[in-house]
Amino acid sequence: MIRIFRHYLPKGLLILGLSEVLVLWGALYIGSQVDGGFTASPQDLANSARAVLFVFVMLIAMTALGLYQRELKEGQWGYFPRLVVSLSLGFLVFCTLLPILPSLVLPPSILASVVLVALCGTMLTRLFYVAVARRTAGNRQVLVLGTGRRARAVQALAKGGPGRPGFQVVGFVPCGEREDLDGPMVLKGGQSLAAIARENRVTEIIVGSRDRRHALPINELLECKLAGTRVVDLTTFFERESGRIELESLNTSWLVFADGFAQGLIKAWVKRVFDVTVSTLLLLVCAPVMALTALAIKIEDNGPVFYRQERVGQGGRVFSLLKFRSMRVNAENDGQPRWAKQNDSRVTRVGAFIRKVRIDELPQALNVLRGDMSFVGPRPERPFFVAQLTRDIPYYSYRHAIKPGITGWAQVRYPYGASVEDAVEKLKYDLYYVKNNTLFLDLIVLFQTIQVVIFQDGAR
């Protein structure tokens, strides 16, 4: 993993991105030569804003279609449909820009050849990347100190999905706690940590034991570290590998001494400029869609177009959140708040559609302009649920350290949540965002939100 602006990114993903920058750059030159209608040397293109614009737009489209996610969710050929859609989207963007920027955009006939070459090049690059990733997936050997429930979470992460992760657990060393693990993976031979690390070519030792005062072999860990083996606590390991903060391994002292949670006037100013800019653009671009939505809601049942609901914001302050009404009038006439659920009978026909494509969230851009919310941040919950979740879930109130958002790291990383269990899982991502939020992470969330909307992940 490489940390860029406080956010962890897999090295392989960065290498893939840089490789595809070169592929797209080369495609612009090769594709234009194949057509014969445009001639330029590679040196000319390197100094041309046309090449920069082409690469930038195509990378944005590919990112928005989920082609640079942390996990590899598809097989070798599973990327092909998304590549076709993303490059086609880029082609349409350039066709739209042609009358505005004729000196920077190639004619459609030439651009079609360029996009075709780019498609072939990026597909070959991804085939090679997936093959290499599979071959090197177990190169990082990790040793877990502890055999309890916290240590078991590492084993679950190691088995957790296609393309994930880039490490292999070689074993678990007992550390004076109740054992939840048993079998050949538990190393009870009496060897020192240094000997186990040398024998298994361990690159990292994860301290997963909760008891650190009496049972932790601190001298052995120091010996391993001096020999070049990295030693890391379990919470930091999960933060780095999964983009979330694991609650079961979390101690208040870790929050106190860990880096992050940075605030400041410059950061707040940059965040506010980003919020206002993106929200204003969203309202301008989506104005026709919002007008049609308002009309459809009014026609269906002649009820109010907008719905106001109390939500908890930064510092626990309650504000009125604005949404397009997606439920029938008086959906909670008994006064009892309820979680939204699959096939909720309270949802209207128009409401079901606008929820699926997230149109119901668009009026919240006005909340952002008013300063109640940010564009990116933890999703605000209703006071009734906040009181319940704060009581039942440790550290839940910490998500209110920053402004809530229309979209967030939890929204793009975890499906729709409608239970206490889901709230626990989403809190892990919210705490990661609260700790590491930067403009860079906001842009990542923004691009991945486009993918969530397109593929309708988690809508209810």
User: In whole angstroms, how far apart are CA 370 and each of 277, 309, 416?
Assistant: 13, 16, 26
Alpha-carbon gap, residue 426 to 277, rounded angstroms: 27
pLDDT of residue 211: 64
Choose the weakest-confidence range: 15-19, 128-132, 187-191. Answer: 187-191
Which of 434, 403, 409 lies closest to 321, judged by CA? 403
According to CATH, what is the number of the domain 140-257? Answer: 3.40.50.720
Bigger pLDDT: 419 vs 234: 234
Q: Is the dihedral of CA 250, 255, 258, 260 positive or negative?
A: positive
Q: 214 pLDDT band (50/70/90 cuts)?
A: low
Assess whether pLDDT exceeds 90 at residue 383.
yes
User: Over the chain, what is the mean pLDDT?
Assistant: 84
Q: What percent of the chain has pLDDT over 90?
A: 39
Main-chain phi, psi angles of 79, to 5 degrees: -80, -20
Strand partners, 35: none
Assess whether pLDDT exceeds 80 at residue 114.
yes
Structure tokens at 55: 């690469």
Name the burial class of residue 182, with classes exposed (0-12), middle (13-18) and buried (19+) by CB atoms within 10 angstroms of its CB: exposed
Choose the weakest-confidence range: 173-177, 245-249, 257-261, 270-274. Answer: 173-177
Structure tokens at 447: 């691009």
pLDDT of residue 46: 46
Distance between start and end Cα atoms, the chain: 34
Beta strand 405-407 with 318-324: parallel, antiparallel or unpaired?
A: unpaired
Name the burial class of residue 99, with classes exposed (0-12), middle (13-18) and buried (19+) by CB atoms within 10 angstroms of its CB: exposed
Choose the weakest-confidence range: 171-185, 376-390, 402-416, 434-448. Answer: 171-185
DSSP calls for 179-236 = ----STTB--S---HHHHHHHTT--EEEE--S--SSS--HHHHHHHHHTT-EEEEHHH
User: In whole angstroms, how far apart are CA 148 and each of 54, 104, 179, 203?
Assistant: 52, 60, 5, 22
Cβ neighbors of 357 (< 8 A, separation 6 or more) are 453, 456, 459
Q: For residues 151-169, give the mean pLDDT.
A: 70
Bigger pLDDT: 37 vs 424: 424
Alpha-carbon gap, residue 326 to 318, rounded angstroms: 22
Structure tokens at 101: 């920027």
Q: 369 pLDDT band (50/70/90 cuts)?
A: very high
Q: 5 pLDDT band (50/70/90 cuts)?
A: confident
Amino acid at the residue 396: Y
pLDDT of residue 456: 61
Assess whether pLDDT exceeds 70 at residue 162.
no
Alpha helices by DSSP H, 36-102: 42-46, 49-64, 80-97
Please say whether the beta carbons of 446 and 411 come within 8 A: no
Assess whether pLDDT exceeds 50 at residue 144.
yes
pLDDT of residue 98: 83
Angle, CA of 94, 97 and 99, to the nearest 5°: 125
Alpha-carbon gap, residue 375 to 416, rounded angstroms: 18
Bigger pLDDT: 358 vs 314: 314
What residues does each domain of the chain span?
2-135, 140-257, 265-455
Place of tokens 């060897």: 191
Assess whether pLDDT exceeds 50 at residue 100.
yes
Strand partners, 206: 144, 232
Instruction: State pLDDT tens for residues 74-90.
Output: 455 567 888 898 999 99
Please say whether the beta carbons of 44 and 200 come within 8 A: no
Three-class DSSP category at 7: strand
- Helix, strand, coil shares of the chain, percent, nearest 5, are 55, 10, 35
pLDDT of residue 213: 65
pLDDT of residue 380: 94
Assess whether pLDDT exceeds 90 at residue 263.
no
Q: For residues 101-119, give the mean pLDDT.
A: 86
Assess whether pLDDT exceeds 50 at residue 410.
yes
Helices 149-158 and 234-242: crossing angle in degrees, nearest 10, is: 20
pLDDT of residue 71: 63
pLDDT of residue 269: 93
Q: For residues 180-194, give the mean pLDDT.
A: 77
pLDDT of residue 88: 92
Q: 341 pLDDT band (50/70/90 cuts)?
A: low
Amino acid at the residue 259: D
Choose the weakest-confidence range: 203-212, 277-286, 400-409. Answer: 203-212
Q: 212 pLDDT band (50/70/90 cuts)?
A: low
Cβ atoms < 10 Å from Cβ of 213: 5
